[in-house]
């Protein structure tokens, strides 16, 4: 309390006493106004004059008020009685009402009429006084009363009985009643003794006693208020300005006592002297800011002009107990002040925090405290200098720091603040049930603070949503992208700075235990994760990372390096794994286009060694993934771990894949990957690329396949049209393949394939319209397959093959194959430069040239054009003819042939055979012919040349010309034929010599003569010919017509010409 305010209050009290003296003086004046009218009139008339005279005098002094006296009369010799005295405002509002006023004085009529009665007043009794106090009118009334004339005579004793005071400020006035008051003069002393008592709605008894000098220069009062009841009944009846002052105590209900002393200043102009003491018991405060009331309020206080002391104040609010004590030495702004606040079992909740002063409430969002604490607060203030000591004992509290809003619960320990330094002692808390130790010390807490804070846990803390959401946005984004779960053991967290101008430096060491991660950019789940995370300011380092995926064991390391002076950073994560299954989870971790390629590859199995590198820069949303995979040979693996692949575009199951692949950013490099399909071994080296819109490329720069068997698996795997071609060729054997293969594709489009391969085969069989057996050699294929079909050019390099039991060697030359046809020789290089080449080969020592065309439809049609030059007849006889034959000569031949796979009956063609420098009498037919001609082998051969022109129709060969020429005789054949079963039907006529003289007339005569002299017919088979000669064939024919029985007899004797031929085979 301010002493100056106190002095002013007591000055107002002194003024009120003086005003009451004015009221008493007014009473005396009323009495003195009773003049000498009594001597003129009768007693009744005297009473009327007394009443009139008093009314006039009061009206003059209270000219702004209405004054009414109901009755005034003289009481024998005792004094004057005034009744019904009322004073009101000009508006008629009552101000004071006195039922009865008795002035004990000398009441002789002569005295009343001749002089004032004031000196003779001995005592004044006021009964049933009712004062009406209105704050807006009280000041004016008091000023009027202060202007009443005073008297130098001594005041008589005054007694006020059964008075009341009504103070108006609200609808219900404050009532002070049972007011009994005595003003007692002290002999001739200028002092008055005051004593009295009263009661009110808020106090059962108020006792006042004191002395006051008549001129008001000195006074003192003392009193006691018993059973003071402070409640809403009191506050609701107080004036508005007073209610506003005590508004914080509106909900207070309390009982107590109050003792006070008030005295005049010790020197003029000085402060009123006062002292006060009191207590409050059984108080209760219902504050609208609190849901529960403050109860059991007790307090003791005292104060005077030099100090104020709150000895103690105790209260309860729910489970919380409150104790306050303090003192103030002096009443000016520089007075020394101290205070103590002790709170026990304080529940820190939203209600409490919202009730804090603004300067403290602004700190609440930074820590969001809750729970139960004990608080000891000690304040000392000298002028503007404040010393604060606060000790907060956390009993069961929780809080979360606004920069890391992860709530810690079960907090116990001490937080102490003193002289600008806040520090902890034994502070422990729980993070999701895991104990933490927290220590810190900060100087000048706030924006300019310096200091340090350390936190460490006793064990792992679950990495739940609350912990993740507490991280700063960038760190949270990393953890969320990893989809991390498990336990985090906070080994150490330290935040510190020594200079307020610097940023806080953060370091941390966290150990991950039993975690799982599934990086959103490469969502491959890893379980049983453990490792160490280290934070250095804004950079993270991951080390000793271990984990599992199924049976796979993983290890790795990584780091996050923040950008300088800007958000974001770079992530690098390196993982290595053993025995990694090629399962759906690994496939799902890839990008969509890569998943599609995986699906088309249809991979199964496991990878022995897998190394994964992940790189990400926040400046570039694209994630770089580097994968290196290694599969060891089968002898270093367990059963069931081999890799199997069966591509959709080439659905051939390839097993036991082994080797190395390297994948990075859509590019897969294949490094000597080997695979097996049954007995087939495959080796591939190349690369695969994957585009952002579903494009893919498979480029095997080296593709080797050994012991390839074109069985049903392979035929099913190749494109349909190619499969049809392979099937129709009826290839039987194995192939070794070496070369390159390139395949490209886009989702929803037929893949495109390009190849350049060399295939080697050993002892294979092939039917490409004609049956080729025992093929040894190679073929080079260069071609492509796309939506339009297959187009492939090639180069044959066949060392040897067997055709119709004839060996063909050195078969070389170009060919072409597509969905519809197979071209050999010049037809395969049609339109190319230099000049197209025939397919060439060596047959029986001669050179064979071939051009061929095979149409690969449901009905395989073919056409072939062949020429043979300088072939050795001796080799032919040894390799193709049974028995011992001594043949020689050189063979030249040409053949044009067409047909289909319907059968031999579809064959059509023509050709020529030329035999030179020959010796062919060793042939069975020739031997029979020579015997028939009774020619014995001379020193020169029987036939040295032969010219044959023939046609092929189905299974038959028709000889248009078949001439055998020798030195002694020549045979000329016409209208002859043989079939592919080697059956013969030949007709020759003889001629002496070589017929080299070509005179038209003579030659024709000799030919005709030869035909009419001897005709030779050959039947049977090539190995067992039947030869029959006919002399003069025309005569013989005539005889047959004349003697048919003889002809039949000759036929029955086995005559060659009449023996029927075996029916020719048909398909």
pLDDT per residue over 678-696, tens digit each?
A: 888 989 899 888 777 777 7
User: How far is CA 779 from its chain centroid?
Assistant: 56
Does residue 904 or residue 363 have the better pLDDT? 904
pLDDT of residue 143: 60
Tokens of 660: 């190395």
> Secondary structure of the chain: what % helix, strand, coil (to 5)?
20, 55, 25
Cα 252-256-258 angle, rounded to 5 deg: 115
Residue 422: which of 401, 403, 440, 396 has the closest Cα? 440
Residue 1025: which of 1050, 1051, 1059 has the closest Cα? 1059
Whole-angstrom Cα distance, residue 913 to residue 894? 7
Residues 154, 215: contact at Cβ < 8 Å? no
Whole-angstrom Cα distance, residue 249 to residue 228? 15
Least confident of 5-19, 228-242, 319-333, 981-995: 5-19
Q: How far is CA 380 from CA 102, 329, 340, 384, 419, in A?
A: 60, 12, 9, 10, 11
Residues 141, 146, 148, 151: is their CA dihedral positive or negative?
positive
Both ends of the chain: CA-CA distance in Å? Answer: 137
pLDDT of residue 10: 40
pLDDT for 1065 beyond 80: no
Task: Give the torsion through C-alpha atoms of 273, 274, 275, 280, to 10 deg.
Answer: -160
pLDDT of residue 1058: 30
For 256, residues 6+ apart whose C-beta sits below 8 A from its C-beta are: 228, 230, 278, 279, 280, 281, 283, 299
Does residue 832 or residue 501 have the better pLDDT? 501
pLDDT per residue over 550-597, tens digit each?
A: 888 889 899 989 888 788 888 898 989 888 888 888 888 877 777 877
CA atoms within 13 A of residue 85's CA, in its CB half-sphere: 27
| Mean pLDDT, range 965-991, rounded to an integer | 81
Least confident of 85-94, 880-889, 963-972, 1036-1045: 1036-1045
* DSSP type of residue 903: -
pLDDT for 39 beyond 60: no
* E strand or H helix that includes residue 720: helix 720-729
pLDDT of residue 107: 63
Whole-angstrom Cα distance, residue 13 to residue 25? 18
pLDDT of residue 53: 77
The residue behind tokens 């008075």 is: 163
Cα 521-525-529 angle, rounded to 5 deg: 110
Residues 246, 232: contact at Cβ < 8 Å? no
Strand partners, 914: 892, 947
Q: How confident is the model at residue 378 (pLDDT cuts 50, 70, 90)?
A: very high
pLDDT for 18 beyond 50: no
pLDDT per residue over 1000-1011, tens digit each?
A: 444 444 455 455
Whole-angstrom Cα distance, residue 1042 to residue 1055? 19
pLDDT for 322 beyond 90: yes
Residue 963: which of 896, 1010, 904 has the closest Cα? 1010
Does residue 19 sit in helix, strand or coil?
Answer: helix
Q: String of b and e for 409-426 (b: at least 16 CB within 10 Å)?
A: bbbbbebbbeeeebbbee
The pair phi, psi for residue 532, each rounded to 5°, is -120, 125
3-state secondary structure 116-168: CCHHHCCEEEEEEEEEEECHHHHHHHHHHHHCCCCCCCCCCEEEEEEEEEEEC
Across all residues in the chain, what is the average pLDDT?
A: 80
Whole-angstrom Cα distance, residue 646 to residue 602? 5
Q: Where are the domains of the chain?
A: 459-581, 592-708, 903-995+1019-1030
User: Percent of the chain at pLDDT above 70?
Assistant: 81
Whole-angstrom Cα distance, residue 877 to residue 585? 71
Burial of 48 (0-12, 13-18, 19+ CB in 10 A): middle
State yes or no: cis peptide before 199, omega within 30 of 0.
Answer: no
pLDDT for 811 beyond 80: yes
pLDDT for 1031 beyond 50: yes
pLDDT per residue over 712-736, tens digit each?
A: 888 888 777 678 777 877 888 899 9
Tokens of 487: 């336990």
Residue 1017: which of 989, 994, 1054 has the closest Cα? 989
Q: How confident is the model at residue 430 (pLDDT cuts 50, 70, 90)?
A: very high
Tokens of 587: 């496939």
pLDDT for 853 beyond 70: yes
Least confident of 747-751, 964-968, 1040-1044: 1040-1044
Q: How many residues does this entry show for the chain?
A: 1067
The pair phi, psi for residue 446, each rounded to 5°, is 135, -155
pLDDT of residue 1034: 53
Residues 624, 614: contact at Cβ < 8 Å? yes
pLDDT of residue 1067: 33
pLDDT per residue over 102-152, tens digit each?
A: 988 776 655 555 545 555 678 899 999 998 887 666 556 656 555 555 555
Tokens of 390: 């606060």
Whole-angstrom Cα distance, residue 344 to residue 383? 30
| Mean pLDDT, range 406-415, rounded to an integer | 93
pLDDT per residue over 149-167, tens digit each?
A: 555 556 788 899 999 988 8
Residues 767, 741: contact at Cβ < 8 Å? no
User: Percent of the chain at pLDDT above 90?
Assistant: 23
Strand partners, 507: 494, 536
Cα 231-276-3 angle, rounded to 5 deg: 105
pLDDT per residue over 226-279, tens digit each?
A: 888 888 777 777 777 777 767 777 788 889 999 989 888 888 778 889 899 999
pLDDT of residue 25: 44
Residues 580, 606: contact at Cβ < 8 Å? yes
* DSSP type of residue 454: E
Whole-angstrom Cα distance, residue 540 to residue 572? 10
Residues 6, 271: contact at Cβ < 8 Å? yes
User: How far is CA 833 from its chain centroid?
Assistant: 63
Whole-angstrom Cα distance, residue 276 to residue 256? 13
pLDDT per residue over 1037-1050, tens digit each?
A: 554 555 455 445 44
Does residue 859 sit in helix, strand or coil?
Answer: coil
Does residue 92 or residue 593 have the better pLDDT? 92
Angle at which helices 3-32 and 135-146 cross, to 10°: 60
Residue 970: which of 945, 949, 987, 948 has the closest Cα? 945
Angle at which helices 1000-1013 and 1033-1042 cross, to 10°: 40
Residue 58: which of 115, 113, 96, 12 has the closest Cα? 96
| Global pTM value | 0.60
Whole-angstrom Cα distance, residue 74 to residue 46? 8
| Mean pLDDT, range 917-929, rounded to an integer | 59
Whole-angstrom Cα distance, residue 101 to residue 127? 6
pLDDT per residue over 632-674, tens digit each?
A: 887 665 555 678 888 877 788 888 888 898 988 778 888 888 8
User: How far is CA 22 from its chain centroid?
Assistant: 90
For 827, residues 6+ apart whose C-beta sits below 8 A from its C-beta are: 816, 836, 851, 852, 853
Residues 523, 493: contact at Cβ < 8 Å? no
Whole-angstrom Cα distance, residue 792 to residue 860? 18
| Mean pLDDT, range 979-999, rounded to an integer | 70
pLDDT of residue 444: 86
CA atoms within 13 A of residue 122's CA, in its CB half-sphere: 8
Residues 639, 604: contact at Cβ < 8 Å? no
pLDDT of residue 1013: 58
């Amino acid at each position: 309390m301010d002493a100056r305010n106190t002095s002013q209050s007591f000055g107002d009290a002194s003024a009120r006493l003086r005003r009451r003296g004015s009221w008493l003086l007014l009473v005396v004046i009323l009495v003195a106004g009773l003049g000498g009218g009594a001597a003129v009139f009768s007693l009744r008339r005297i009473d009327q004059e007394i009443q009139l005279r008093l009314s006039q005098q009061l009206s003059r002094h209270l000219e702004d008020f209405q004054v009414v006296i109901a009755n005034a009369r003289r009481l024998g010799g005792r004094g004057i009685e005034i009744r019904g005295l009322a004073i009101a405002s000009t508006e008629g509002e009552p101000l004071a009402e006195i039922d009865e006023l008795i002035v004990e004085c000398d009441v002789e009529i002569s005295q009343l009429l001749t002089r004032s009665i004031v000196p003779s007043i001995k005592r004044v009794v006021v009964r049933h006084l009712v004062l009406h106090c209105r704050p807006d009118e009280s000041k004016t009334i008091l000023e009027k009363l202060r202007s009443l004339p005073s008297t130098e005579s001594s005041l008589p004793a005054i007694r006020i009985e059964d008075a009341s005071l009504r103070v108006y400020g609200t609808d219900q006035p404050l009532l002070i009643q049972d007011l009994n008051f005595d003003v007692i003069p002290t002999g001739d002393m200028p002092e008055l003794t005051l004593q009295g008592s009263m009661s009110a709605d808020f106090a059962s008894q108020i006792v006042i006693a004191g002395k006051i000098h008549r001129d008001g220069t000195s006074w003192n009062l003392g009193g006691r208020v018993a059973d003071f009841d402070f409640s809403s009944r009191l506050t609701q009846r107080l004036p508005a300005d007073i209610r506003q002052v005590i508004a914080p105590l509106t909900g207070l209900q309390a009982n107590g006592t109050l003792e006070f002393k008030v005295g005049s200043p010790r020197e003029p102009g000085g402060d009123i002297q006062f002292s006060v003491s009191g207590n409050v018991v059984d108080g209760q405060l219902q504050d609208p800011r609190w849901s529960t009331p403050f109860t059991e309020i007790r307090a003791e206080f005292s104060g005077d002009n030099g100090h104020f002391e709150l000895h103690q104040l105790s209260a309860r609010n729910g489970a919380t107990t409150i104790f306050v004590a303090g003192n103030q030495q002096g009443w000016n702004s520089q007075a020394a002040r101290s205070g103590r606040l002790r709170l026990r079992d304080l529940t820190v909740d939203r209600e409490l925090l919202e009730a804090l002063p603004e300067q403290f409430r602004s700190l609440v969002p930074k820590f969001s405290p809750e729970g139960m604490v004990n608080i000891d607060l000690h304040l000392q203030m000298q002028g503007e200098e404040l010393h604060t000591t606060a000790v907060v004992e956390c009993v069961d509290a929780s809080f979360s720091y606004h920069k890391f809003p992860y709530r810690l619960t079960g907090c116990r320990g001490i937080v102490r603040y003193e002289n600008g330094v806040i520090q902890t002692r034994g502070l422990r808390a729980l993070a999701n049930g895991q104990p933490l130790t927290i220590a810190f010390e900060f100087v000048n807490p706030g924006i300019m603070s310096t200091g340090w804070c350390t936190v460490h846990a006793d064990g792992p803390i679950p990495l739940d949503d609350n912990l993740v959401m507490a991280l700063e946005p960038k760190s949270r984004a990393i953890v969320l992208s990893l989809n991390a779960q498990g336990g985090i053991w906070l080994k150490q967290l330290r935040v510190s700075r020594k200079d307020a101008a610097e940023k806080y430096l953060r370091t941390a060491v966290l150990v991950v235990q039993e975690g799982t991660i599934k990086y959103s950019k490469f969502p491959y789940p890893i379980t049983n994760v453990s490792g160490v995370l280290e934070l250095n300011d804004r950079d993270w380092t991951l080390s000793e990372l271990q984990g599992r995926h199924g049976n796979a064991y993983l290890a790795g390391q990584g780091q996050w390096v923040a950008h300088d002076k800007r958000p974001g950073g770079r992530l690098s994560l390196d993982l290595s794994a053993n025995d990694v299954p090629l399962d759906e989870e690994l496939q799902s971790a890839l990008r969509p286009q890569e998943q599609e390629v995986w699906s088309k590859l249809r991979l199964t199995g496991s990878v022995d060694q897998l190394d994964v590198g992940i790189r990400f820069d926040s400046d570039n949303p694209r994630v770089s993934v580097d994968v290196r995979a290694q599969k060891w040979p089968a002898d270093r693996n367990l059963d069931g771990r081999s890799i199997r692949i069966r591509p959709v575009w080439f659905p051939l199951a390839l097993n036991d894949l082994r080797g190395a692949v390297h994948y990075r950013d859509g590019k897969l490099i294949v490094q000597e990957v080997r695979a097996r399909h049954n007995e087939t071994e495959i080796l591939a080296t190349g690369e695969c690329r994957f585009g952002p819109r579903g494009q893919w490329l498979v480029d095997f720069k080296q593709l080797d396949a050994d012991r390839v068997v074109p069985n049903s698996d392979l035929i099913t795997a190749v494109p349909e049209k190619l499969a049809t071609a392979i099937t129709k060729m009826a290839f039987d054997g194995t192939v070794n393949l070496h070369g390159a293969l390139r395949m490209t594709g886009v989702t929803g489009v037929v893949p495109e394939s390009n190849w350049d391969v060399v295939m080697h085969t050993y002892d294979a069989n092939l039917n490409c319209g004609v049956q080729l057996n025992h093929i040894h050699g190679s073929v080079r294929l260069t071609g492509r397959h796309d939506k339009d079909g297959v187009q492939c050019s090639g180069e044959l390099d066949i060392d040897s093959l067997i055709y119709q039991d004839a060996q063909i060697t050195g078969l070389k030359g170009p060919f072409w194959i597509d969905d519809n046809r197979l071209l050999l020789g010049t037809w395969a290089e049609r339109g190319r430069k230099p000049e197209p080449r025939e397919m060439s080969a060596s047959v029986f020592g001669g050179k064979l040239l071939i051009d061929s065309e095979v149409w690969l439809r449901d009905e395989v049609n073919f056409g072939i054009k062949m020429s043979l030059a300088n072939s050795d007849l001796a080799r032919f006889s040894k390799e193709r003819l049974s028995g011992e034959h001594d043949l020689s000569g050189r063979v030249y031949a040409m053949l044009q042939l067409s047909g289909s796979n319907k059968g031999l009956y579809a064959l059509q063609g023509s050709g020529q055979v030329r035999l030179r420098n020959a010796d062919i009498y060793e042939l069975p037919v020739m031997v029979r012919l020579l015997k028939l001609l009774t020619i014995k082998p001379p020193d020169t051969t029987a036939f040295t040349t032969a010219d044959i022109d023939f046609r092929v129709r189905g299974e038959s060969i028709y000889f248009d010309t078949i001439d055998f020429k020798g030195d002694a005789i020549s045979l000329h054949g016409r209208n002859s034929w043989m079939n592919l079963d080697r059956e013969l039907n030949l007709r020759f006529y003889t001629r002496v010599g070589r017929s080299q003289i070509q005179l038209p007339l003579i030659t024709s005569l000799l030919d005709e003569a030869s035909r009419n002299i001897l005709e030779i017919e050959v039947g049977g088979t090539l190995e067992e010919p039947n030869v029959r000669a006919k002399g003069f064939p025309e005569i013989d024919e005539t005889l047959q017509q004349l003697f048919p029985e003889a002809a039949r007899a000759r036929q029955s004797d086995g005559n060659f010409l009449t023996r029927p031929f075996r029916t020719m085979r048909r398909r």
